[in-house]
């Protein structure tokens, strides 16, 4: 029987104006010359996948990056037209685009809104200029606020603001001010992430050479706790470890990841979950362009088994096998990130095995440690468990 379940699409735009000091995403500065070829390849990849997932309505689309708002409007219009030509959009689809202040104005937002984008995620990170400079962000705090106002002026009703806490030398008061100023803008959604030092970034180099202090984990925990209380007081629901929203304003696209459902991710380095596999496109944008063109010369047969489809997709260069033990662990770990937690009945329905049997020892231990709690057929992280979530997650992973 044909699969008619809704599908989600992630589209990775790998371009940035400047590489931020902390960023280890697959994004590149000074690669603007490749934009037209990249957009051609992305549209080709969309067309290549369409017959394989035919009949599945697309419920959410997420333009992530990188900095998708660096793509000139005609390119966004072309990608949206390709989507409409080859896919059926579900009723009321959620179509999000990540935008960075300094790369988009009111006209741009009006244009992408007219093209069908209906949700924005704006990378604020901080509302202090000194902190933005330290992060190598290209914009000031005033420009970030202006960008938000332009989004509203252009008619965007659903907006997320991204914030980062625990920056080197950032006092609690500065973080609190960032949150207060973000709240004054009344976005529908706020994401707050602790700064982490990722290998290969300029931040890692600076920390290693002692020119920047490493993040203070205890202070980050206090900042997180304070933000949780403040955002909840302001009427935001803490629905995922790092995400808060107004009621019914959760990011539907990201919920697909946390529910371990299926999505296709297109573009350099984008990671998919489809057909019982996790896989990723080649990281290099130039190779991506070349390999998508090769696939277009000998496209996969739409009826082929997932393994054969992936083998024919030349741009897919990394396929991770998904044995049942890993699928169960992924499902549990991702669900526990959500406040709704893991539905034990749904777990059994999906895998034919009771969570309590598969993870008897882990369950006993984490309940005893006060990291998990069980209520109404669901398993959730406790408040303490949220700060120590990785302690729970590593125990769930297969050996």
Residues at the interface with ligand SF4 (CB under 6 A): 16, 19-20, 23, 25, 27, 65-67, 100, 123
The nearest distance, CB 140 to ligand SF4, in angstroms, is 15
Contact between 362 and 355 (Cβ < 8 Å): no
Task: Give DSSP secondary structure letters for 53-97.
Answer: TTT--EEEEEEEES-GGGS-HHHHHHHHHHHHHHSPEEEEEEEEE
The nearest distance, CB 147 to ligand SF4, in angstroms, is 13
Closer CB to ligand SF4, 23 or 255, in the complex: 23
Closer CB to ligand SF4, 100 or 220, in the complex: 100
Closer CB to ligand SF4, 20 or 358, in the complex: 20
Closer CB to ligand SF4, 67 or 315, in the complex: 67
The nearest distance, CB 135 to ligand SF4, in angstroms, is 8
Rg (the chain; Cα; Å): 21
- C-alpha 363/C-alpha 57 separation (Å) is 37
The nearest distance, CB 397 to ligand SF4, in angstroms, is 27
Closer CB to ligand SF4, 283 or 387, in the complex: 283
The nearest distance, CB 148 to ligand SF4, in angstroms, is 16
Joined tokens for residue 292? 């998508």
- Contacts of range 244-250, beta carbons closer than 8 Å, 24 or more positions apart: 244/189, 244/190, 244/191, 244/192, 245/188, 245/189, 245/190, 246/188, 246/189, 249/158, 249/188, 249/189, 250/189
Closer CB to ligand SF4, 109 or 236, in the complex: 109
Closer CB to ligand SF4, 28 or 393, in the complex: 28
The nearest distance, CB 24 to ligand SF4, in angstroms, is 8
The nearest distance, CB 116 to ligand SF4, in angstroms, is 23
Which letter does DSSP use for residue 267 in this model?
Answer: S
Identify which of 198, 230, 235 has the alpha carbon closest to the alpha carbon of residue 214. Answer: 198
Task: Give DSSP secondary structure letters for 310-348.
Answer: HHH-TTEEEEE---HHHHHHHHHHHHHHBTT-EEHHHHH
């Amino acid at each position: 029987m044909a699969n008619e379940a809704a599908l989600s699409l992630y589209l990775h735009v790998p371009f940035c104006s400047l590489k931020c000091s902390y960023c280890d995403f697959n994004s590149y500065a000074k690669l603007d010359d490749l934009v037209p070829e990249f957009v051609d390849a992305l549209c080709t990849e969309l067309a290549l996948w369409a017959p394989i997932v035919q009949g599945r309505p697309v419920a959410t689309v997420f333009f992530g990056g990188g900095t998708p708002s660096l793509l000139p409007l005609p390119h966004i219009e072309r990608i949206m037209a390709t989507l409409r030509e080859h896919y059926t959009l579900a009723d009321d689809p959620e179509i999000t685009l990540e935008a960075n202040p300094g790369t988009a104005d009111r006209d741009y937002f009006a244009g992408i809104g007219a093209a069908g984008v209906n949700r924005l995620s704006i990378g604020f990170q901080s509302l202090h200029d000194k902190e933005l400079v330290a992060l190598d962000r290209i914009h000031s705090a005033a420009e970030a606020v202006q960008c938000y106002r332009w989004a509203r002026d252009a008619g965007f009703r659903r907006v997320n603001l991204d914030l980062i806490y625990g920056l080197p030398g950032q006092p609690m008061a500065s973080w609190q001010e960032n949150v207060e100023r973000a709240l004054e803008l009344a976005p529908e959604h706020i994401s707050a992430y602790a700064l982490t030092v990722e290998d290969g970034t300029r931040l890692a180099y600076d920390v290693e050479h002692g020119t920047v202090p490493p993040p203070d984990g205890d202070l980050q925990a206090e900042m997180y706790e304070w933000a949780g209380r403040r955002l909840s007081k302001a009427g935001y629901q803490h629905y995922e470890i790092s995400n808060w929203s107004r009621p019914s304003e959760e990011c539907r696209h990201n919920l697909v990841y946390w529910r371990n459902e299926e999505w296709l991710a297109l573009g350099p380095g984008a990671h998919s979950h489809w057909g019982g596999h996790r896989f990723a496109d080649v990281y290099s944008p130039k190779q991506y362009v070349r390999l998508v063109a090769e696939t277009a010369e000998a496209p996969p047969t739409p009826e082929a088994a997932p393994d054969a489809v992936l083998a024919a997709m030349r741009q897919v260069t990394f396929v991770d096998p998904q044995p049942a033990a890993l699928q169960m662990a992924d499902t549990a770990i991702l669900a526990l990130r959500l406040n709704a937690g893991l539905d034990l009945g749904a777990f059994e329905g999906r895998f034919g095995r009771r969570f309590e049997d598969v993870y008897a020892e882990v369950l006993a231990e984490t309940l005893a440690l006060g990291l998990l709690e069980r209520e109404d057929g669901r398993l959730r992280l406790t408040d303490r468990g949220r700060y120590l979530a990785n302690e729970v997650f590593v125990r769930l992973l297969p050996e």
